Amino acid sequence: MSFSEIYPVIWEGDRAILIDQTRLPAEYTTVAIADSDTMAKAIKTMIVRGAPAIGVAAAYGMYLGAREIQSGDRATFLVELEEVAQKLRQTRPTAVNLFWAIARQLQTAQATSGSVEEIKAALLETAQAIQTEDLQTCKDIGDNGLKALPKTPQKLTLLTHCNAGALATAGYGTALGVVRSAWQGDRLTRVYADETRPRLQGGKLTSWECVQEGIPVTVITDNMAAHCMKQGLIHAVVVGADRIAANGDAANKIGTYGLAVIAKAHNVPFFVAAPLSTVDFKLETGTEIPIEERDAKEIYQVGETRLCPDGVDFYNPAFDVTPATLIEAIITEKGAVKPEELKKFQA
């Protein structure tokens, strides 16, 4: 298996098939999703995760919810479809692609004339289009990222945080798409992957993807990044994003902000790779980005083993916001731009 064969969400027959990312890397298995409630649960419990992949899943969730609506009256159908949308919106508050995909599906429903059945058919077509478009977007991000990486006489070593690969998108990946393009372009010698506490997406998922592709990968704990940079092991950092404000402030998995501060201290360029659908132009700065807080169990327990004593309090924000001033460039499908240049893409 390679990146090109990793698709976290596909449509097969009359249902969506999701790779169960909670079981990787120990077990590769899939889950069939045939209704909107199950899709909402899959997003909430991180069976599917990564902002673009969540967007694709939500788009199919909207179709599944539409398929469950019994009324043939257009007005009634649209009211009930909004209820499906609200259910999906409540699953993950930070990833803007979720809201973008839902809004696009609602727009499709409003714009489609004809019968309710014709609207339902259009919703499935739009979900499939979102998936196809995202795959091409990721490939474009990878190619643009390759052009933006530091020009050095030797091959590069890159550091990434969390997972922004094929598993987090429709395929190929954003940050890991840049890695893949660098590998294919013979400009990469190794990837360093932060393990990414508390859910260990770097250690579990990024490393798994790299192994499938044959890309040399070294997993480090999150608190080793500064040491590795001081030793000259890292030429650049490339991460994904779940939401980017209009000024370029970027929300990504918790720990990204600290990594950006460390990179700045060591003069290591820090790149964010994300599609333009991840940019929320309604938000002026990152202070407006809602930060999801997840179950404390993610911190104090691994498997069946409890790590901390009873009576301890926990704080488990899933994301942090990296200020635009720490970001060398934001790599999009339209090219790599300085954070302050993002607004030129605003519709």
Catalytic positions, please? 242
Spell out where 187-274 has E strands: 188-194, 217-220, 236-239, 243-245, 250-253, 270-273
Using CA atoms, how far apart are residues 174 and 19, in angstroms rounded to an integer?
Answer: 18
| Euclidean distance between CA atoms 48 and 186, whole angstroms | 31
Q: Which residue, chain included where needed, has tokens 């980017």?
A: 244
Which positions ≥6 away from 324 have C-beta within 8 Å? Answer: 247, 248, 249, 250, 286, 339, 340
For the beta sheet containing 329-332, the strands, ordered from the edge strand earlier in sequence to the opposite edge, are 217-220, 188-194, 156-160, 236-239, 270-273, 329-332, 335-337
Collapsing DSSP to helix, strand or coil, 177 comes out as helix
Per the document, the length of the chain is 347
Segment 107-113 long-range contacts (CB within 8 Å, at least 24 positions apart)? 109/66, 109/77, 109/78, 109/81, 110/78
Tokens representing residue 23 in the block: 């079981």
- 171 vs 22: CA distance, rounded Å: 18
Indicate the DSSP class of residue 155: P
Residue in the structure block whose two tokens are 């290591």: 268
Least Cα distance to 205 among 165, 237, 258 occurs for 165
3-state class of 268 per DSSP?
coil
Cα separation, 193 vs 191, whole angstroms: 6
On whether the CB atoms of residues 133 and 277 are closer than 8 A, the answer is no
